[in-house]
Amino acid sequence: MESRARAAGHSIHPVLIVYPLGLLTTAVVFDILGLITDRPGFAVAAAYTMAAGLIGGVVAGVFGLVDWLAVPKGTRARRVGALHGLTNVVMLLLFTVSWFVRNGHDDWEPGWLAVVLGLVGVLLSGIAGWLGGEMVERLAIGVHEGAHPNAPSSLSGWPASAPK
């Protein structure tokens, strides 16, 4: 099935996800650099990039939800898509808590809790990204109307059936 949210012939969701993923990962890198160098500028940069990443994540998620609602019910693709979306929601919540924790400190100093929440968030973004890749690469969701929404997992060792 083709993506329902398209612009200029391409799905919108995969175009938008690169920004929040890059921004949120960069925020964690800034946190780590701040801990290593003890320079307050990294904490401020992390807070701003995290805020932008959270906003971008919500926008990308809206387009992902539009696409997921069109996935046929009762299919593996629907279940994988639900897990993909839920993982991303949890990841965004972790980053949101991380942002609020640092918001209460002078110069946006993150503290260990905020840094750990960000690291777990990056780990979850990798899992969510793999699930999104499974949707596109294995199940052909969002690619064309001949998608195969019940193909076996790419971890199963079984080849995916050719899309119909």
DSSP the chain: -B-SSEETTEESHHHHTHHHHHHHHHHHHHHHHHHHH--HHHHHHHHHHHHHHHHHHHHHHHHHHHHHHTSPTTSHHHHHHHHHHHHHHHHHHHHHHHHHHHHTSGGG--HHHHHHHHHHHHHHHHHHHHHHHIIIIIT-TBT-TT--TTPPPTTSSPPPPPP-
The CA distance from 34 to 31, in Å, is 5
What pLDDT is stored for residue 163 in this prediction?
A: 45
Residue 142: strand pairing partners: 2
Cα 37–Cα 39–Cα 40 angle in degrees, nearest 5? 145
What would you report as the CA-atom Rg of the chain, rounded to the nearest whole angstrom? Answer: 18
The tens place of each residue's pLDDT in the chain, 164 residues long, gives 556 677 776 778 888 999 999 999 999 999 999 999 999 999 999 999 999 999 999 999 999 999 899 888 999 999 999 999 999 999 999 999 999 999 988 889 999 999 999 999 999 999 999 999 998 888 877 765 666 667 777 677 776 665 44
φ, ψ for residue 142, nearest 5 deg: 85, 0
